[in-house]
Chain A
């Protein structure tokens, strides 16, 4: 069964304290792995798509990496405005399957 597991469920960091969020997946025929950011009461906002093991993408303080079994979202020197829920999803055939997300809280 296709499955996505994110860890940790929640993470509190001090401003400037770098860390990584994990997304492990099992899927037959991965067609893409996605990272989204979601603020409370809003729809997910697209961040990155990764297609193959070894691929990396960067945007401001965020960097996403992909292996054959997991993906990491690295956040470098985070700011309070980076506080949000970060969702990982995998595309299997024509639909995408989401994990439950990691709630990230950056303390000033």
Chain B
């Protein structure tokens, strides 16, 4: 059992640049979730997929954010024209439908 993996673990970028993060879920899990966490707060839901279908998006997910899960396996989260307010830990989780979510180690984004 390899668990949920995320890449990269850390990303430093300049304001205005685009960034892309990758998440590989636990292999038998059909659901994949993205969360954002800032210092002193709990994770906040961004979006989730069941297989390749994106079923829900939070109001937090502005039009600069896009997520894909093209073959129902790994997922990518892209942020275009990054802003300093995008600095946060981006967490990915996966689960079987309706079951407990297991989290990856996160990608820490710093926007300068």
Contacts and interface: CB of A to CB of B under 8 A. Distances in A.
Given A41-B108, A44-B91, A95-B48, A101 B102 contact: no
A94 B93 CA distance: 13
A43 B104 contact: yes
A95 B56 contact: yes
Nearest to B43: A98
A46 B55 CA distance: 24
Contacts of A97: 45
A97 B91 CA distance: 14
A99 B40 CA distance: 10
B72 interface: no
Contacts of B43: 44, 87, 98
Contacts of A100: 40-42
Interface of B: 4, 6, 33, 40-45, 48, 55-56, 91, 93, 98, 100-106, 108
Contact of A89 (B4, B40, B42, B105): B42
Interface string A84-108: 0001010000111111110000000
A95 B42 contact: no
A101 B38 CA distance: 12
A101 to B, nearest CB: 6
Contacts of B45: 95-97
Given A98-B43, A99-B42, A43 B105 contact: yes
Given A87-B42, A98-B44, A101-B42, A43 B100 contact: no
Contacts of A69: none
A49 B95 CA distance: 13
Contact of A46 (B6, B48, B102): B102
A74 B40 CA distance: 22
A42 B105 contact: yes
B100 A46 contact: yes
Contacts of A12: none
Contacts of A49: 100
26 contacts: A4-B42, A34-B101, A36-B103, A41-B106, A43-B4, A43-B105, A44-B43, A44-B91, A45-B103, A46-B100, A46-B101, A49-B100, A87-B42, A89-B42, A94-B55, A94-B56, A95-B56, A96-B101, A97-B45, A98-B42, A98-B44, A99-B42, A100-B40, A100-B41, A100-B42, A101-B42
